[in-house]
Amino acid sequence: MGSDTVWGINHRRKGGANTLKALKSIRTARPDGAPVYVIMDNLSAHKGPKIRAWARRNKVELCFTPTYASWANPIEAHFGPLRQFTIANSHHPNHTVQTRALHAYLRWRNANARDPHVLAAQRRERARVRSEKGLRWGGRPLATAA
């Protein structure tokens, strides 16, 4: 996060094996052996015994957000622009083409992290996620301007 660089891996299915592969790639990106903290949602595929054992052995701390608390995950603000620039109004013919589009966006985004369009999309996503927080935790919905 300190370098404002976003990268990702795209798989056809969610599952423990793919989660473990992703965690291993994150650990590899930090070869100095320093502890790595990974914020994750509460998907059951993220909590398997193999994943937890591997994380303990490799100085990877798994930090799970509470259920229905996407607002507590700082990476969520980056998903809005990702959806807006690669998935919205698209008709990718297959998974490979979609993955290429996602990776192309991530390369562009990392080269242009302070681009006004990216920053505006992140602000919109933060606002959307914050409004979700109010609804899910019993708060009133935010009033929208007419």
**SS3 for 120?**
helix
Predicted pLDDT of residue 112: 83
- Per-residue pLDDT band for 139 (boundaries 50, 70, 90) equals low
Residue spans of the domains in the chain: they are: 1-64, 70-146
Cα torsion 116, 114, 63, 40 to 10°: value is 50
**SS3 for 25?**
helix
What would the two tokens of residue 103 be? Answer: 């990776």
How do residues 3-34 score in pLDDT, each as one tens digit?
A: 777 777 777 788 889 999 989 988 998 889 89
How do residues 56-105 score in pLDDT, each as one tens digit?
A: 999 999 998 887 777 677 777 777 778 777 887 788 888 888 889 889 88
- Per-residue pLDDT band for 141 (boundaries 50, 70, 90) equals low
Q: What's this model's pTM, rounded to 2 decimal places?
A: 0.67
Say which residue the tokens 């591997």 belong to.
Answer: 54
